[in-house]
Amino acid sequence: MTLEVNAADAATEIFLIDGRLRRIAKGVGWLGHDVAPGFYKLRYRSAATQVDELIEVTGETERHAVHAEPIAFRSAAPLAYTATANVAQLNRAQEWSHMQGVPYCSLFLFLRQEDEERQIEPVEVQVLDLAGELIAGLNEGMWDEAARCAGLTRALPPGTYRVRVVNPVLGTYEMFVSLCDGWQTQVFLTPDVFERNNERVTAVSLRRSSIFMARTHEGFDPYNPNLRLGELAKHAISQGRNVVSREVINSFLDEKFKNPMLGFAVAHLLMRRPKRNYELLDTVLCNLKCMTVDHPDLEALELGLRTSGYGRSFELSRPPMFLASWDFMVRATRARASLIHPASVPGQIAHNVASSAPWLLHRLPDEPTQGPVRLSLRDSEALFNNLLSIGADELLARAKEMREGQSLSGLEQNILNLVLTHQKVMQIGETARFEAETSPGEGKHGLSRALRRIRAPAYSVASAVQSLCDKMKG
């Protein structure tokens, strides 16, 4: 007989497990499989939440259908039927997203405390323009202590903006959000617990944030099922899972003028497939272009799909929202370094990009970074060899000193780790193995190949190698 399982969300993963605890089938959104009568376990996974259900297939009919309830996964946004949804917060988000009437382009920030045992506390969350000039702070918006939430709505011109969180213990981090004509970009934030120097610190988490885009006259709709799909797709990008079923794609295409963020997430998941469906990707990107027109994540996806079609004078001047979009931009600079100028905002932030999928996060350095240096990766190889020439003991001592003094950028840390790894391998006499692993078939060019794999534009990697050499000499 046939067992059919329907999940409440098209992006929920379904696993069928038999009485011997063997997984015999899996699906996304829907699962169909021929089974014998007996007991089975159904496992549903939505985001990081997993729910098991025991079922009995009797064999009395040729078809046994199961309709699952929505999985209450965790979300920074107060979406209906999620794990920490709160009616008061849900209502406030709906109300505040409409506070300024119907501006043609706006940004909506919403901070909420998920823990019912804790009150919302004042935090330093700021909105800045791309140049870094302060526009507004969350403390200038609306606060509801009883509902444990705060909100800020601002009508702003189309463009890319910084959302910055300042914490005296963890440092200052920012993400980049793009505003488009006719849309309201909605950013939902919540506190999380971080570990720093064996200390537990509660701070606003940009990494866990939820970002939606809605037509300006619609505001936030917590009951919109496609917002749940977008959240699940966002989690899938972070976890490296494939939840793009045909139904998910159709949900975006059927509502192609209503949910750009779902479209961006679907496009990134489709780009990860071993065999790309270029016709389908073209359709998704075409629909995104109709909605957002001028968006840095769209530019990045187009670069990832095909690098041709841009003139020699074309430059990427704005950071994207998705970390996966940043990776496409970075890879494109390997063939054409001038795509990201060292003095541009993408060139400046490249030295301190955090590993924070799904979003591109930037940690502001404690000290200003050096001015832009226009070196190529090839130019930096000689400098890199200078680092390798330092004795292992001396290199370790200098590295420890600089790390304790926190004088290295994130990019310099990555390069130093690469050098230390090479030195360690050399000590155990396995240099050939290291070169083979970093660049199969490239032999002596393995290290420079490893340099090219670092998650930063070509000019930024080269200038970081130079600055690291200068600090080592000092």
Q: Does 113 map to a domain?
A: yes
Residue range of the domain that includes 20:
2-67
C-beta separation of 1 from 236 below 8 A: no
Domain boundary among 175, 201, 223: 223
What are the backbone angles phi and psi of residue 119, rounded to the nearest 5°? -90, 155
C-beta separation of 229 from 249 below 8 A: no
Check whether residue 92 and residue 63 sit in a common domain. Answer: no
Of 418, 428, 453, the residue nearest 439 (C-alpha): 453
DSSP 8-state code for residue 75: -
| pTM of the predicted protein model | 0.86
Return the structure tokens found at 395: 């290199």
Tally the domains of the chain. 3
Helix/strand/coil (H/E/C) assignment for every residue in 116-152: CCCCCCCCEEEEEECCCCEEEEHHHCEEECCCCEEEE
Query: Could you tell me the strand order of the sheet in which 171-179 lies?
Result: 134-137, 124-129, 159-167, 171-179, 361-363, 353-354
Return the structure tokens found at 91: 């209502």
Check whether residue 95 and residue 218 sit in a common domain. Answer: yes
Check whether residue 152 and residue 59 sit in a common domain. Answer: no
Q: What is the pLDDT along the chain (474 residues), one digit of tens a residue?
A: 899 999 999 899 999 999 899 999 999 999 999 999 999 999 999 999 999 999 999 878 889 999 999 999 999 999 999 999 999 999 999 999 986 665 689 999 999 999 888 888 878 999 999 999 999 999 999 999 999 999 999 999 999 999 999 988 888 999 999 999 999 999 999 999 888 878 888 899 999 999 999 998 889 999 998 899 899 999 999 888 888 887 888 777 776 557 899 899 999 999 988 888 899 899 899 989 988 878 999 999 999 987 555 555 578 999 999 999 999 999 998 888 889 988 899 999 998 998 788 999 999 987 665 555 556 666 666 666 666 667 667 777 777 777 666 678 888 888 888 777 766 666 655 544 555 454 443 434 556 677 777 888 877 887 888 888 777 766
Check whether residue 212 and residue 94 sit in a common domain. Answer: yes
Query: What 3-state class would DSSP assign to 282?
Result: helix
Q: Does 33 map to a domain?
A: yes
Sign of the torsion angle spanned by Cα atoms 234, 237, 238, 242: positive
